[in-house]
């Protein structure tokens, strides 16, 4: 066979096998026998062995696995993979719907979907071909598990049909079908191996296996339901999902009641209640229902918090509950000095995992439940993930039971605890002398969303602290190879990598450096706000309460925390030392180009569709020129920036409150 003939046959076999694969696994309508399929696949495998240069990157032979991945590469998501806020009652759904009505114009429609208990995945296609599949990770960065995802037969290697964007990402959930999970555990039991705890954790572990042939053998499955692309594929989420189905993706089917359009709380609750009763008939696990605002323009109008979209929420079904004995209560000290009481329990099996500990949150929670050591307590998993104590079985309380007395001194450094007015937690004020706080601050400093120092982890921080080499984050930048090499488990290559990671971190932008300092209440979003408003660490350290509160979304509590942090001389000294080490403590001049104060003191609400800019671009222009974006109209709003298709309720409210309504062209004149 010539190379040209081989290419033609490989192309023909690849297409035909993908067509049969789609018919069998997605449509559940096989068009040939298993034997015929296997014979075609073997012919393709033989041709690819003879002509390896002609094999397709996404050949159907990849479905059976065999490739070995030693290390999964880290990738940055084109669109952040955010998590959803959880709710557990009809009242909380009503609160969500009420918030949405206040912020979004026009008639509202919701899409209800199943909340699959699996592993979130984002799969990128370019020119109709699968190019990458990544885990959620921290939402910003994930791991490239493309080789393993290609073994899942319901995920197409190539997009079918027409109308799909040139480049897009589709998201969904990979899960372990119960029949395959139970069969795997039955096999392990026969072979005398430990059983896997639950399908979700097993699916997650399977996707991180190095040998893709093992992944293929486990028959994972996937539902896909979210399309992200620079080119909009529909006006709303529901139609976007239907379009994805026409492109060959396995989507939740309307005819199976796995996705439904709802216009009222009653319709939403009907869907929730239906699946609470029927979920055990499915061949995969779900732990709730997801409710999303359907219209994309309304989604844009509602926007996002730092962690989740305002236009979606997850309703979680009540978790399984067990009883066990509360052996004793101990305490954990966090990096901010917050004291968290922990229930140490007699080990008990709950929702597939053995539970030994549970957070008790604070002293008020212990008092509310009247918890006592030795009690028989009810334990459930909040969201079926985090164990929590919910009640005491008073009928089984020992006769000699004594009320629990909360700690008055830090369990680590014996400093007297404080509790500020209005705060739920007790705190250890010994910020620079309490070991867990010292180590916790350094662990936060090196974490991925902060300085992200390659080669440094929590265990290494512990080791370096115990060796007396570091006591503050600034000490990290004084480390030398001579200090590190004599330490246990410190080989020359690992020391070289660590020192390179420390040096590379000096290029981390100011906003992440500020977040890394660990100032209470200054998370990622607040750090960005402060940096973009004040530009330098000197300006931030010099700002008073009034100046800070005047900034966008900075309230009294955040301002007070910032002032308290910089009022401590040791903190100021550490910041100075970090700056001298070469860390970024100001915005580069090129990033400040185009910034003005033309809109200083002015607040804007954006609504509708615009000709020259997207809504996100308009928000950036407002902030770039010193203005403030707000989500809803109030008496403090200065301008309503109105585009086409703006809902009548926003206009009416603006007119009633005397808020000036301006067009896109008028706004452009204001910042010209």
Is 115 among the catalytic positions? yes
| Residue 445: partners with Cβ closer than 8 Å, 6 or more residues away | 451, 473, 476, 516, 517, 518
CA distances from 609 to 228, 286, 613, 634 (A): 19, 37, 9, 21
Note the pLDDT of residue 272: 96
| CA–CA gap between residue 583 and residue 477 (Å, rounded) | 10
Catalytic residue among 62, 115, 441, 529: 115
Q: How far is the C-alpha of 553 from the C-alpha of 627, rounded, in Å?
A: 12
Alpha-carbon span 170 to 201, nearest angstrom: 22
Specify whether the CB–CB gap between 515 and 449 falls below 8 A.
yes
Listed residue (528, 562, 521) closest to 542, CA to CA: 562
Angle at 544 between CA 604 and CA 531, to 5 degrees: 55
Domains of the chain: 3-62 (1.10.287.610), 86-316 (3.30.470.30), 318-429 (2.40.50.140), 435-507 (1.10.150.20), 510-592 (1.10.150.20), 603-671 (3.40.50.10190)
Give the Cα separation of 646 and 605 in Å (integer): 12
Quick one: 129 exposed, middle or buried, by C-beta within 10 A (0-12, 13-18, 19+)? middle
CB-based contacts of 161, cutoff 8 Å, min separation 6: 246, 247, 248
pLDDT tens digits, 438-478: 999 999 999 988 999 988 988 999 999 999 999 999 999 99
Position 623 scores a pLDDT of 83
Tens digit of each residue's pLDDT (9 = 90 or more) over 82-122: 888 888 889 999 999 999 988 888 889 999 999 999 999 99
First to last CA, the chain: 68
pLDDT means over runs of 10, the chain (672 residues): 83 82 70 76 82 80 67 88 88 93 89 94 94 90 92 92 93 95 87 80 90 91 94 92 95 94 95 93 92 93 84 87 93 91 92 83 93 94 71 92 95 94 89 91 92 90 93 95 92 92 95 94 88 92 92 85 94 96 90 78 88 86 85 87 83 89 93 88
Quote the tokens at residue 373. Answer: 């050591």
């Amino acid at each position: 066979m010539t190379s040209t003939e081989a290419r033609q046959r490989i192309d023909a076999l690849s297409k035909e096998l993908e067509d049969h694969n789609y018919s069998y696994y997605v449509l559940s309508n096989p068009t040939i026998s298993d034997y015929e399929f296997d014979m075609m696949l073997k012919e393709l495998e033989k041709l690819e062995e003879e002509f390896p240069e002609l094999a397709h990157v996404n050949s159907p032979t990849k479905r059976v696995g065999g490739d070995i991945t030693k290390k999964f590469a880290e990738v940055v998501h084109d669109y952040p993979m955010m998590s959803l806020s959880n709710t557990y009652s009809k009242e909380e759904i009503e609160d969500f719907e009420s918030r949405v009505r206040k912020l979004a114009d026009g008639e509202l429609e919701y899409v209800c979907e199943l909340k699959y208990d699996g592993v979130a995945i984002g799969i990128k296609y370019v020119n109709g071909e699968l190019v990458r599949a990544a885990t959620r990770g921290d939402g910003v960065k994930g791991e490239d598990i493309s080789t393993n995802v290609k073994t899942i037969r319901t995920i197409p290697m190539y997009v079918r049909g027409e109308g799909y964007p040139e480049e897009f990402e589709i998201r969904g959930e990979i899960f372990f079908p119960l029949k395959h999970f139970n069969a795997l555990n039955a096999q392990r039991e026969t072979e005398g191996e430990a059983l896997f705890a639950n399908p979700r954790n097993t699916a997650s572990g399977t996707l991180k296996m190095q040998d893709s042939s093992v992944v293929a053998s486990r028959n994972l499955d996937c539902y896909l339901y979210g399309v992200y692309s620079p080119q909009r594929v529909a006006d709303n989420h529901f139609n976007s999902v239907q379009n994805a189905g026409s492109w060959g993706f396995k989507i939740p089917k309307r005819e199976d009641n796995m996705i439904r359009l709802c216009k009222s709380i009653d319709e939403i609750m009907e869907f929730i209640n239906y699946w609470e009763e029927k979920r055990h008939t499915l061949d995969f696990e779900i732990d709730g229902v997801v409710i999303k605002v359907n219209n994309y323009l309304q989604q844009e109008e509602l926007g996002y918090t730092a962690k989740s979209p305002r236009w979606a929420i997850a309703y979680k079904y009540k978790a399984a509950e067990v009883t066990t004995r509360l052996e004793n209560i101990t305490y954990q000290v966090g990096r901010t000095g917050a004291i968290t009481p922990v229930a140490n329990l007699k080990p008990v099996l709950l929702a597939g995992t053995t539970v030994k500990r549970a957070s008790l949150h604070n002293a008020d929670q212990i008092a509310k439940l009247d918890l006592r050591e030795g009690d028989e307590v009810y334990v459930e998993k909040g969201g079926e993930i985090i164990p929590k104590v919910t009640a005491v079985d008073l009928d089984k309380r020992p006769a000699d039971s004594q009320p629990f007395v909360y700690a008055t001194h830090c369990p680590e450094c014996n400093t007297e605890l404080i509790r500020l007015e209005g705060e739920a937690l007790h705190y250890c004020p010994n910020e620079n002398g309490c070991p867990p706080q010292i180590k916790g601050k350094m662990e936060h400093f090196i974490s991925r969303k902060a300085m992200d120092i390659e080669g440094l982890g929590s265990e290494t921080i512990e080791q370096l602290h115990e060796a007396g080499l570091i006591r503050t984050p600034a000490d990290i930048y004084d480390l030398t190879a001579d200090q590190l090499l004599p330490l246990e488990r410190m080989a020359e290559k690992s020391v070289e990598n660590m020192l390179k990671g420390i040096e590379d971190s000096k290029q981390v932008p100011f906003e992440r450096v500020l977040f890394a300092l660990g100032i209470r209440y200054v998370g990622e979003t607040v750090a960005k706000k402060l940096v973009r408003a004040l530009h330098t660490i000197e300006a931030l350290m010099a700002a008073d309460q009034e100046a800070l509160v005047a900034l966008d979304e900075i309230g009294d509590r955040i301002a007070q925390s910032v002032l308290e942090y910089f009022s401590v001389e040791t903190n100021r000294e550490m910041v100075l030392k970090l700056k001298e080490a070469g860390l970024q403590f100001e915005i580069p001049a090129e990033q400040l180009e185009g910034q003005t104060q033309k809109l200083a003191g002015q607040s804007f609400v954006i609504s509708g569709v615009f000709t020259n800019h997207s809504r996100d671009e308009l928000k950036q222009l407002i902030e770039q020129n010193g203005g403030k974006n707000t989500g809803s109209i109030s008496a403090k709003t200065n301008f309503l920036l109105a585009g086409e298709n703006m809902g009548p309720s926003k206009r009416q409210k603006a007119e009633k409150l005397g808020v000036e309504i301006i067009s896109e062209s008028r706004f452009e004149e204001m910042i010209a």
